[in-house]
């Protein structure tokens, strides 16, 4: 199944679990072997393959054993600033603040005109 992004989280987890299971089988690994190599409990491997909710770190350990962890670069790409943006900004942004209010420009007045 091709994922388009409008599927429910449960549907995506089931598809990911199925893909992990198919890759494990193609590598001729049992669930027990996968659990041992990844340092994840056998029950957790079974839960991942069923598409159940698990700790994300466990999924990363499984993907590492399957040799597909590097594919995460395609999932979430590193944001690289162009050299001209580095001049304007100076460094990568670390957070986003709320809506910025535009300050009204006040006309300059002499001290005795206040």
Q: Kindly state whether residue 98 falls inside one of the protein's structural domains.
A: no
pLDDT at residue 57 tops 90: yes
Angstrom distance (rounded) from CA 76 to CA 83: 22
Q: Kindly state whether residue 69 falls inside one of the protein's structural domains.
A: yes
- In degrees and rounded to multiples of 5, residue 38 shows phi and psi of -95, -15
Give the pLDDT confidence of 79-111 residue by residue, as tens digits: 777 777 666 666 666 677 776 656 566 777 777
- Give residue 62's domain range: 9-75
Q: Kindly state whether residue 90 falls inside one of the protein's structural domains.
A: no
How many domains does the structure of the chain reveal?
A: 1
Angstrom distance (rounded) from CA 15 to CA 1: 7
pTM value > 0.85:
no
Q: Kindly state whether residue 114 falls inside one of the protein's structural domains.
A: no
- CATH code where residue 47 lies: 1.10.260.40
37's CB contacts (< 8 A; 6+ apart) are 29, 65
Q: Kindly state whether residue 29 falls inside one of the protein's structural domains.
A: yes
Give the pLDDT confidence of 2-35 residue by residue, as tens digits: 777 888 989 999 999 999 999 999 999 999 999 9
Q: Kindly state whether residue 94 falls inside one of the protein's structural domains.
A: no
Q: Kindly state whether residue 50 falls inside one of the protein's structural domains.
A: yes
Q: Kindly state whether residue 53 falls inside one of the protein's structural domains.
A: yes
């Amino acid at each position: 199944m091709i994922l388009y992004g409008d599927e429910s989280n449960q549907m995506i987890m089931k598809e990911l679990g199925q893909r992990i299971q198919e890759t494990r089988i193609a590598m001729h690994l049992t669930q027990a072997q996968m659990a041992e190599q990844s340092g994840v409990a056998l029950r957790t491997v079974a839960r991942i393959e069923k598409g159940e909710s698990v700790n994300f770190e466990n999924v990363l350990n499984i993907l590492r054993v399957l040799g597909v962890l590097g594919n995460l670069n395609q999932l979430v790409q590193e944001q690289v600033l162009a050299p001209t943006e580095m001049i304007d900004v100076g460094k990568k942004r670390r957070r986003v603040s709320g809506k910025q209010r535009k300050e009204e420009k006040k006309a300059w007045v002499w001290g005795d005109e206040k």
